[in-house]
Amino acid sequence: MNKSQEKLLELMVDRVFAKHEIDEGADLSVKDRKKLREVVDQLTEEANAFLENSRQKVTEGNTEKTGSRPSVSSEPVHQPEPKRKSRIIRRSKNDPRNIKKYLP
């Protein structure tokens, strides 16, 4: 990582520690440090791989044809419409439409 990324990462870690009231003198066991280092290294590799893939331009000429994707036909596929459930309309006893009107 370059220096600016390291500084940003350090700032973020410091803020999280301050938020959760963790002092810098907290000791981690050797096993915990090793696990933490492995996680950080794995995340760094994944981030770098993602950045490399995002920089590549994909065109029809440089893509590989594999049999894993089904071919798309130009004919429209008929899909049946889902059945509509009938809704039961329930009215409250206090609904003004239920009031009976008496004429004088």
The string of pLDDT tens digits covering residues 60-97 is 777 665 555 555 556 667 777 777 777 767 777 777 77
Sign of the CA dihedral running 81, 86, 92, 98: positive
- What three-state secondary structure class fits 8? helix
Whole-prediction pTM value? 0.38
The string of pLDDT tens digits covering residues 7-32 is 888 888 888 888 888 777 767 788 88
